[in-house]
Structure 1
Amino acid sequence: MARMARLSTALVAVALAAGCGGTTSDPSGTPSLTGTVEVVAKWSGVEQANFKKVLADFERKTGVKTVYTSAGDDVASFLNQKISGGTPPSIALIPQPGTVAELAKKGNLVPLSGAALEAVNANYSPAWKDLGTVDGNVYGLYLKAAEKSICWYRTDAFATAGVKAPKTWEEFVAAAKTLADAGITPFAVPGGSAWTLTDFFENVYIQVGGPGNYDKLSKHQIPWTDPTVVESLKIIGQLWSTPRMIDGGNAGALKIDFSQSVAEVFGEKPKAAMLCEGDFVGSEITKAGKYKVGDTAKYLPFPTIKGAKPSVVVGGDQAVAFKGDKATMALMAYLASKDSAEIFARGGGFITPNKAVDASAYPDDTVRGLANLVVNADVIKFDMSDLARASFGGGTNADEWELLQEFLGNPSMDVNALAGRLEDAAKKDFGSN
């Protein structure tokens, strides 16, 4: 680990030195680059604040000015507009590998080389490096990962209803019904942020369909009318259609976005007991200030279904470069380093796939435990909707998003018909294959 730490630091120094011809030095004698690097990401709140600390450290070390631009929820559409207008950013943090692949194939991205590529090779496992590779070239590096196979809950709500953290789907449903009988609404479902609905589907599907079918469905190598998809939709529909399960009812849930859903469970006036979403919920709970992560706010692994092995669905944001100038490549090398990852990690609320980062960099035992879940899970798969074409699974108007929102609003609909509509959309968005 110490060797990796030294190597990552040295690689960043190499990157900075390589870009310093004709530049000045700061008073300490550290070579300085010139120019401005624009970085685009969807992050807001805690994530954005922590990332700006990373950019500030890079500015201090190099003299390069950085500009952070928020892309909103639909990063792919934002970037396409920038590219079409001839003003692409220097770097973007993109949560959908499918979008990265599309941009790379169109020639919009610059592959990593030199110190940036060496830092990726040193600090990332082959699996994470492969996720940033398109047609043999490494374009992306993952600054953060998200463990999405968990549900957060209020310990006071569970204590009042006399329920324990469930492990199986049957126990999960039974606990929810007990909460409802005690007058406590079990779930906040942020249907207004439809990406959360895709996460819930994926956690059910990976156990019903298995990891092999999960991979096939993510590439549309099996149809969305496959019996495993229909069964998964049926399981979800049964839960969503159970009376008193959802905060605000099914129609009300469609008006609740992710940030509001955290407040609905962990705010000043909580209205629900549980929220099934990733590790990043923890930082939002801390920001709200009423409940303490690891004490009054805890998480449980997503319940297993029909004896399936514990599975973890992960997401992540990878940095990609649209420009190849020295300042941009120096920032890419820095983002792949131990130093930048540890600055981000100390802020809490996420897991880094950068293997050079020591566990002590995480601010609390809760996040360390989440990282351990990712490391030791029997099955780990990347977020399926993020692997898909952006028009199907990766944007505000994506077909899967809209169809799952419709399903949340009317969970008693015919799931075979819904599967057929998902398949029609997949054929359109992926092309028949």
Structure 2
Amino acid sequence: MRKTALVLAGLAVAVAACGNAPTNTPAQSGSSAPATDAAAKPLAGVKVEIAAKWTSDEEKNFRQVLAAFSEKTGAEVTYASTGEDTGAYLGPRIKGGSPPDVAVLPQPGLVQQYAGENALKPLNDAVIKQIDENYTPYWKELGSSGGKAYGVLVKAAHKSLVWYRTAAFEEAGVQPPTNWDELVKAAQTIADSGTAPFSFCGASGWTLTDLFENVYLSSAGPENYDKLSKHEIPWTDASVGTALEKMAQIMGKKEFVLDGNSGALQTQFPDCVTKVYDQKKAAMIIEADFVAASVGQSGEKVGEGAKTFAFPKVGDTQPVVLGGDVAVALKDSPGAMALLEFLASKEGGEIWAKLPGYLSPNKNVSPDNYPDPLTKQLGQTIVSAGDAVRYDMSDLAPSAFGGTDGKGEWKVLQDFLRNPADVKGAQTKLEDEAKKAWK
């Protein structure tokens, strides 16, 4: 049974979310791992295909992890990008009998769905041994269904952050806000200085669900968050209206949104990051720690020209929303379980942790591996977070509602960005979509 009411006090780790046309190309071997005699490599000549959502800088970093696996084992790994909608990419391949060996699922809800369709292969003893050594039981449960372990949590996301361009704040004379009213006031001051406060990636609907979840968790509180995540209260509830009204305060002012609302709806992730740090057109992006992977390409340095502040409190709760990506096997192939074992290992996690835009869900990966003080701090924030921490609501929902491009919650919140004045209309549409997904 999917667990949506998440009380994560005392967790030592945490776990997100997100291309266009799929690509399918080999991951080139690099120098991340020591060379070994080819005859000693156990998977020499074995081909492994892995599909994941990552593109751009996140894909480049993940390819370095795959290259280390290839160097160690001799396996030839091919990477395929699923694009925004992982389910839409994998569904036809599963039905056609030609799935990739391994897939990285951005929503735990897909683990439940595919396990129910008998599309996943249970993890073998070697992979489970790595999970038991390196993860807390909670994360093992997230990758399980019907008492069987199917998934490895390979990447974490801290989604309760606002990234800002230091120079834009200094030019406007504003300080990082600590509550929502201060955020709106700072945004107005930045707009008056001639810079758009916010860069939204509205074409990537999941970014809008992240914003809603933070506002809702803070304004409605953890108990209502848990109820809404299971559709135990309707989306027409007054608490949802309050959250949407707060969002409208920053979406509804023309001078607040870079390129206007229509332009924001044509901006994919991570292009919104580029517009802040490379093109220097806006001051802030509301999104997770993995923004760091794109910041580095702009010439700005994380922790200096690019900084973060905690998502401002809207109500009584300081929100901490977490997300994560789950790697699963869809084939009984020689390389599938070996790759999952590597991704679940301390070795695999430490290779990835040295690269920007990554947080490890592996409790044995030392924070000293992170490339900058900010990333290390984010990992520590997750460790010290209290009872109000919650898992990404849309990722736990049925995929038809919370994880499908152009449908469900993604589509309704995109429509809301187009017309932030229509709070009641958005609530009605959200409830209609939820009823269909949970029936």
TM-score in terms of structure 1 length: 0.90
Q: Which digits, 9 at most, give the CA deviation of each residue in 1:62-109, with x for residues without a partner?
A: 222211111111111100010111101110011011111100111100
Of 284, 292, 300 in structure 1, the residue corresponding to residue 294 of structure 2 is 284
In structure 2, stretches of 5+ residues that fail to align are: 1-11, 13-35
Question: Partner letter of residue 343 of structure 1?
Answer: I
Q: Which digits, 9 at most, give the CA deviation of each residue in 1:191-239, with x for residues without a partner?
A: 1111111110011011122222222222222211122111111111122
* 8 Å Cα contact 1:145/1:351 also seen in 2: yes
Question: Partner letter of residue 421 of structure 1?
Answer: K
SS at match of 1:265: helix
Cα distance, 1:57 vs. partner?
A: 1.8
Of 138, 152, 172 in structure 2, the residue corresponding to residue 141 of structure 1 is 152
| Cα distance in 2 between the residues matched to 1:429 and 1:325 | 33
* 8 Å Cα contact 2:38/2:44 also seen in 1: no
Q: Which position in structure 2 is the counterpart of 1:307? A: 316
| Cα distance in 2 between the residues matched to 1:179 and 1:317 | 35
Answer yes or no: is 1:173 the counterpart of 2:184.
yes
TM-score in terms of structure 2 length: 0.89
Cα pair distance change 1:392/1:27, threshold 3 Å? closer
* 8 Å Cα contact 2:38/2:74 also seen in 1: no
Answer yes or no: is 1:407 the counterpart of 2:416.
yes
Answer yes or no: is 1:366 the counterpart of 2:366.
no
Answer yes or no: is 1:429 the counterpart of 2:429.
no
| Alignment RMSD (CA, Å) | 1.6
Q: Which position in structure 1 is the counterpart of 2:402? A: 393
Cα pair distance change 1:244/1:27, threshold 3 Å? closer
| Cα distance in 2 between the residues matched to 1:399 and 1:175 | 32
| Cα distance in 2 between the residues matched to 1:209 and 1:171 | 19
Cα pair distance change 1:328/1:243, threshold 3 Å? closer
| Cα distance in 1 between the residues matched to 2:195 and 2:335 | 54
Map 1:217-296 to 2 at 5 A: 217-267=228-278, 269-289=279-299, 291-296=300-305
Q: Which digits, 9 at most, give the CA deviation of each residue in 1:294-334, with x for residues without a partner?
A: 111100010011232x2211111110011233321111111
Cα pair distance change 1:326/1:114, threshold 3 Å? farther
Cα pair distance change 1:197/1:412, threshold 3 Å? same
Question: Partner letter of residue 372 of structure 1?
Answer: Q
Of 337, 341, 349 in structure 2, the residue corresponding to residue 341 of structure 1 is 349
Answer yes or no: is 1:320 the counterpart of 2:328.
yes
Answer yes or no: is 1:52 the counterpart of 2:63.
yes
| Cα distance in 2 between the residues matched to 1:218 and 1:179 | 35
Answer yes or no: is 1:330 the counterpart of 2:338.
yes
Q: Which digits, 9 at most, give the CA deviation of each residue in 1:240-263, with x for residues without a partner?
A: 113411111122211122222112
Cα distance, 1:429 vs. partner?
A: 1.5
SS at match of 2:59: helix
| Cα distance in 1 between the residues matched to 2:266 and 2:49 | 33
Cα distance, 1:283 vs. partner?
A: 1.6
| Cα distance in 1 between the residues matched to 2:253 and 2:209 | 20
* 8 Å Cα contact 2:49/2:102 also seen in 1: yes
Q: Which digits, 9 at most, give the CA deviation of each residue in 1:111-148, with x for residues without a partner?
A: 11211011111100122112111121111111111111
Question: Partner letter of residue 334 of structure 1?
Answer: F
Report how many residues are paired: 404
| Cα distance in 2 between the residues matched to 1:31 and 1:407 | 53
| Cα distance in 1 between the residues matched to 2:283 and 2:390 | 27
| Cα distance in 2 between the residues matched to 1:243 and 1:254 | 14
SS at match of 1:407: helix
Map 1:61-76 to 2 at 5 A: 61-76=72-87
| Cα distance in 2 between the residues matched to 1:425 and 1:311 | 25
SS at match of 2:256: coil
SS at match of 1:349: coil
| Cα distance in 2 between the residues matched to 1:394 and 1:374 | 24
SS at match of 2:255: coil
Question: Partner letter of residue 294 of structure 2?
Answer: E
Q: Which position in structure 1 is the counterpart of 2:425? A: 417
* 8 Å Cα contact 2:219/2:316 also seen in 1: no
Of 109, 122, 125 in structure 2, the residue corresponding to residue 111 of structure 1 is 122
Question: Partner letter of residue 165 of structure 2?
Answer: R
**Structure with max Cα Rg:** 1
Map 1:8-47 to 2 at 5 A: 26=37, 29=40, 31-32=42-43, 34-47=45-58
Question: Partner letter of residue 188 of structure 1?
Answer: S
In structure 1, stretches of 5+ residues that fail to align are: 2-24
| Cα distance in 1 between the residues matched to 2:40 and 2:91 | 40
* 8 Å Cα contact 1:145/1:352 also seen in 2: yes
Q: Which position in structure 2 is the counterpart of 1:78? A: 89
* 8 Å Cα contact 1:152/1:274 also seen in 2: yes
| Cα distance in 1 between the residues matched to 2:407 and 2:358 | 26
Identity rate, percent: 45
Cα distance, 1:169 vs. partner?
A: 0.8
Answer yes or no: is 1:151 the counterpart of 2:162.
yes
Of 379, 389, 405 in structure 2, the residue corresponding to residue 380 of structure 1 is 389
Cα pair distance change 1:91/1:27, threshold 3 Å? closer
Question: Partner letter of residue 287 of structure 1?
Answer: Q
Cα pair distance change 1:215/1:33, threshold 3 Å? farther
